[in-house]
Chains A and B, each alone.
Chain A
Amino acid sequence: MTIVIDVMFLTFLIIAAFLSIYFKNLLNSTIILGAYSLFVAVLWTTLNAIDVAFTEAAVGAGISTVLFLSLFSKVEWEDRSTPSKDRKIIATSIVLIVGYLLILGITDMPNFGDHSWVTNTYLVPDYLARTLEETGSPNIVTAILGSYRGYDTNGETTVIFIAGLCVYLILRKGEDK
């Protein structure tokens, strides 16, 4: 039963990714990208990555779609560029080469849920055993993000702060002195 759902949502994912590039109207592409994020969120849920699914649904399907849509009040949202034939050939060949390399990479990936794979044998059981006892937090993702990797999250928050401030300064350029 799960395989049916997986195949269905992966098919939707490919269709959404294709359509978001196919449309010349950027308004359509933005809506399709929101749907793409929603399908990815569902797939994360079937993989039991609830935290990632939550973030994907909130940021990918929610905030970024709204930001794109509100951006269209300031910029042109019709793509009128007509690429030349040479550029199309170059782009297609690059896509094919990179796609071939990615498929080569997939063959090295572990099977889904493989217990004997190297990342599942020494680090994951260690965290699973230690986290509740050391931090008292049943949600291991939060414990790792906040406690074991607290420096990284501190840096992340600082990056969000600085990025937001920079965008604000650019947008308000020349408005009030």
Chain B
Amino acid sequence: MKGHIVLKMATRMMVPFILMFSLYVLAHGEISPGGGFQGGVIFASGFILYGMVFGVEEIYRKIKRKILIFMTAFGVMIYSGVGYITMFNGGLFLEYAKLPGLNMKSGNSMGLLFIEIGVFITVSSVMLLLFIEVSKKYDN
């Protein structure tokens, strides 16, 4: 089944739309169902589909493993970083109203977007890392 031409062409066409849909879910998490977690999982599943059809090692050719591991920590850093920015700006930890240059309403919507991006990056890279490491063959 692997390497079948229909499967390959269908995957090539579908993966960009899956990735785009994940970004849509992330960006509209505030006004419609969804958010960082769901978007991250959909993003990871797009790459997982690619890996299942073209071989798992192909994913590492698109995203280096070191970058993937860095991304898992980077998402947490964005999330906590928003908290620290508000703290240094005179508020409490994660008090979005104290984000620089924003009032209560716009600060909340920007802060929510930033932390959702953090969750998105962490969740998608963790799911992808687990899938690749579980399913790839031992090479030694």
Contact = CB atoms under 8 A, between A and B. Distances in A.
Interface of A: 50-51, 53-55, 58-59, 62-63, 66-67, 70-71, 73-74, 134-139, 141-143, 145-147, 150-151, 153-154, 157-158, 160-161, 163-165, 167-168, 171-172, 175
A174 to B, nearest CB: 9
B57 to A, nearest CB: 13
Interface residues of B, number: 52
B136 to A, nearest CB: 9
Contacts of B29: 139, 142
B87 to A, nearest CB: 13
Nearest to B115: A146
Contact of B33 (A54, A151, A165, A168): A54
Contacts of B69: 165, 168
B73 interface: yes
B115 A67 contact: no
B56 to A, nearest CB: 8
B30 A137 contact: yes
Contacts of B134: 67, 70-71, 74, 171
Nearest to B22: A58
A168 B72 CA distance: 11
Contacts of B131: 63, 66-67, 70
Given A135-B112, A137-B112, A153 B119 contact: yes
B35 A51 contact: yes
A157 B34 contact: no
A147 B75 contact: no
B130 A164 contact: yes
B45 A66 contact: yes
B133 A54 contact: no
A145 to B, nearest CB: 7
Nearest to A154: B79
A53 B34 CA distance: 10
Given A71-B134, A139-B31, A171-B134, A151 B93 contact: yes
B135 interface: yes
A136 B105 contact: yes
A70 B118 CA distance: 27
Interface in B95-113: 96, 104-106, 108-109, 111-112
